[in-house]
Chains A and B, each alone.
Chain A
Amino acid sequence: MFIENLLAAGIDLAAPLLIAALGELYAERTGVLNIGIEGMMLAGAWGGFVTTYYSSNPWLGLVGAILIGALFGLLNGMLAITMKVNQVVSGIAINILLSGLTMYLYRVIFGIPLLPVTVNPFPKLSLPLLGSLPVIGKILFQQNVIVYIAFLMVPAAYFILYKTSFGLTIRSAGEKPEVVDTAGLNVTRIRYTGMIIGGATAGLAGAFYSLAHLNIFANNIISGRGFIAFAAVIFGCWNPLGILLATLIFGIADALSTRFLTSGIQVVPYEFLLMIPYIITIFATLIFSRKSISPAALGTPYQKE
């Protein structure tokens, strides 16, 4: 029972990380780093929340989140690709901008409410037939809609990257952009696409927090999880299946630490348990930072002299 609940919760927590990380995968495979993933998730949480509030439809909320994420992906693209701003700098700048902007606009729309504003969150959706399977039914198929979306994105990413011409182009742009250029393709356009996809999926992932996990919006709703998703890409060796594994590990660790807290078992002080996902990430980067695995041209701006 405990294991079932743990795994179910772990998957629930892993889902938004997975979505954001897969989006970041596209971006990084084209050769651009999106450190702004944290801010874009926040923007998605905000956008999803506000859209759902006004439309009373969480699905429209998801659409809103995706659009906002894509918008800021575009902005990051303009800074990092066209203006050749250092990609880490542009990402940090966007995180700062969005941190202030989202809270300010929340204030503009909702004022200072006595109690936090809420929306109706996504309910859990038990899949017919599959949901009633013993053991794995509870773990895998009685989850939130966003979890199912995350699941589907994995094979989709695998297929797109390795079995389509679009995917070949993406992978090539991140390995050696000059080759793509001389083959007659537009490296800039490809990288913008990667950035926008990264932003849109970050937005979608962020919406999970304000529309499913919780049903409010606050400044600390993302709290570093964007960076964990970023780390998951490295941990997963820039590969959809690896990323799935990495995010599952993070999610389960996160669920584990919450269980320790609520059970009252004080093996280790609560705060130290909260450190676990971050420490795991550090170990992950240790093991997986060898140069031979990452896209060769990652983080390097491309320009013709």
Chain B
Amino acid sequence: MITYNTAPFVEMKGITKYFTSVKANDGISIDVRHGEILAILGENGAGKTTLMNILYGLYTPDAGQILIDGAEVAISSPKEAIQKGIGMVHQHFMLIPTHSVVENIILGMEGNQGLLHLKKEAAKVAQLAEELGFQIEPYRKVKELPVGVQQRVEILKAIYRGAHLLIMDEPTAVLTPQETEDLFKLLKRFVQSGNAVVLITHKLNEVMGIADRVTVLRDGRYIRSVLKQETSEEELAQMMVGREMALHIQNQGQSGRVPKGKAEKPLLRMENITFRNETGNQVLDGLSLELFKGEILGIAGVSGNGQEELAAVLAGLKKIEHGRFYLNNREITNQPSHKMIGNGVGYIPADRQNEGLILNMSVRENLLLKSYDQRPFFTKGVLNKKRTVENANQLIADFNIKAPDTETSAKNLSGGHQQKVVVARELSLNPELIIAFQPTRGLDIGAINYVHQLLLDACLAGKSVLLISTELSEIFGLADRIGVIYRGRILKFLDTKATTVDEVGLLMAGIDKTNL
């Protein structure tokens, strides 16, 4: 059905885009065919999202053209993109949580001026969903819906407005493997009638799974396009990165984990933790775990099953209602954050920009954050600047942080180096236990490998890591043991070597084959 010798459906020619600090797109030319699922593959920062944002009218290019079915078009706003049949589902959903499904879908629709006709629209929405093969409740508030359903609302929104080209930005980041399968089925159904899908992704296995063709971008430039059947994951990885590189660091048993007898006491023990959040949901529901000295325990799960709260509780930021936890057999339940830091618990947060760093402060000050009243940096409350400069220089050198000097503002560092600052700071405090929550989110392969190596090295030095991540490749690459978190509990603990991605994937969706 897909033809390659006729005019393409959508074409972007010579697209160039500058922002104040970077050249995001540099003369990129791509095309999409009718009936095709095209994957745009590249590392973080390669320019994929910028390019698609231009196609969707959110940015205007500084050079280049866009053609639809051979005719040149100017798209200067999302409104015009929608008019021309282009729809986009963003990585962070463009939905208003406090509004209902139908209110979200009809927002900004042409021909919907004046009074709201909610009943009529709701019926239309329900029908459209059925045609695509699923059910939807139009009056439910979006914040009450599970993530996979929210994504379907987003897709409905695009198709409701007449999208023939659907752009999806990293759609599977928040889905279980099974939900991903459902999504792919939906997309395949969508393209049957000549529509097209552009999938922005950095996940090679997805590309090989669903795409018909792949276009690779790197550093804002177009590299190559290949048909899926004519390439492989390794070749794609090389194109993405531009050089031979291992996909990920593997834990070959180098961690400091020395198997001991059953009598060994765990470093961290959590018993029956419960936590109810402000909207009344029982987010942690009797969670228990044991982590042993020198090991990397990976907590796998789809985001939203309690990982955030687990991390927050261990960092001392949230208080639990029932349950206790112990570090080295000493109870540390509900101790506040500065006490936890004093206990030797380090924390690499998921959101480095909003939880790990203060972007408008210098590298030196960011490295100082957790030592805000500690010697030798502060004596009797007064700052000893020289010591802080020495500290910063040392850490910058040790961790290879790419910053011109200690006073560089953290916001001027790339994502990977920002994360290095966070990790450097945490490790410099010599923690016994490191909580790493999505430590490589949004980083390119080089940075990911670096962070992974740091974590493994830390274990060699006798530290322990609790790795909470939604990236299975990361979990399988690093962890000695895996605990799958589902609906606020650890469903099962497994030895990494003794399990498979499929088994873990099922557990992530709550399905324990051994209990059936």
B360 at the A interface (CB under 8 A): no
Among A164, A172, A184, which residue has its beta carbon within 8 angstroms of that of B96? A172
Nearest Cβ distance between residue A128 and chain B, in whole angstroms? 32
Contacts of B112 in A (CB 8 A): 165
Stretch at the interface among B75-83, B203-211, B319-327, B473-481: B75-83
Residues 174-187 of A, flagged 1 when their CB comes within 8 A of B and 0 if not, give 01101111111110
Known: A163-B115, A164-B114, A164-B116. A183 touches B96 (CB 8 A): no
B13 at the A interface (CB under 8 A): no
Nearest Cβ distance between residue B395 and chain A, in whole angstroms? 29
Contacts of A166 in B (CB 8 A): 113
Contacts of B103 in A (CB 8 A): 168
Contact check, A292 vs B278: say whether CB atoms are below 8 A apart: yes
Stretch at the interface among B87-95, B132-140, B176-184, B371-379: B87-95
Contact check, A176 vs B96: say whether CB atoms are below 8 A apart: yes
B397 at the A interface (CB under 8 A): no
Task: Count residues of chain B with CB under 8 A from any CB of chain A.
Answer: 30
Contact check, A182 vs B88: say whether CB atoms are below 8 A apart: yes
Among A164, A175, A178, A305, which residue has its beta carbon within 8 angstroms of that of B99? A175
Contacts of A164 in B (CB 8 A): 114-116
Contacts of B116 in A (CB 8 A): 163-165, 167-168
Residues 181-204 of A, flagged 1 when their CB comes within 8 A of B and 0 if not, give 111111000000000000000000
**Is the contact region of chain B dominated by helix, strand, or loop, or is it mixed?**
loop
Among B77, B113, B115, which residue has its beta carbon within 8 angstroms of that of A184? B77
Contact check, B99 vs A185: say whether CB atoms are below 8 A apart: no
Nearest Cβ distance between residue B303 and chain A, in whole angstroms? 19
Nearest Cβ distance between residue B58 and chain A, in whole angstroms? 7
Within 8 A of A (CB), among B101-134: 103-104, 106-108, 112-116
Q: Which of B78, B95, B96, B278 has the most CB of A within 10 A?
A: B96
Closest residue of chain B to A175, judged by CB?
A: B96
Closest residue of chain B to A162, judged by CB?
A: B116
Q: Give 25 A-B contacts (CB < 8 Å), ordered by A residue.
A: A163-B116, A164-B115, A165-B106, A165-B114, A167-B116, A168-B106, A168-B107, A169-B107, A171-B99, A172-B107, A175-B98, A176-B95, A176-B96, A179-B94, A180-B107, A181-B78, A182-B78, A183-B78, A183-B108, A184-B81, A184-B82, A186-B77, A304-B58, A304-B59, A305-B19
Residues 62-84 of B, flagged 1 when their CB comes within 8 A of A and 0 if not, give 00000000000000011111100
Q: What separation, in Å, do the CA atoms of A183 and B56 have in the docked complex?
A: 10
Nearest Cβ distance between residue B104 and chain A, in whole angstroms? 8
- Given contact pairs A165-B106, A168-B103, A181-B78, a sample of 17 additional A-B residue pairs in the complex whose CB atoms are under 8 Å apart: A163-B115, A164-B114, A165-B114, A165-B115, A167-B116, A169-B107, A172-B96, A175-B96, A176-B97, A179-B96, A180-B107, A182-B90, A182-B94, A184-B80, A185-B79, A296-B98, A304-B58
Known: A163-B116, A184-B79, A184-B108. A172 touches B99 (CB 8 A): yes
Contact check, A169 vs B108: say whether CB atoms are below 8 A apart: yes
Contact check, A183 vs B94: say whether CB atoms are below 8 A apart: yes
Q: What separation, in Å, do the CA atoms of A275 and B58 have in the docked complex?
A: 51
Q: What separation, in Å, do the CA atoms of A88 and B442 have in the docked complex?
A: 34
Nearest Cβ distance between residue A296 and chain B, in whole angstroms? 8
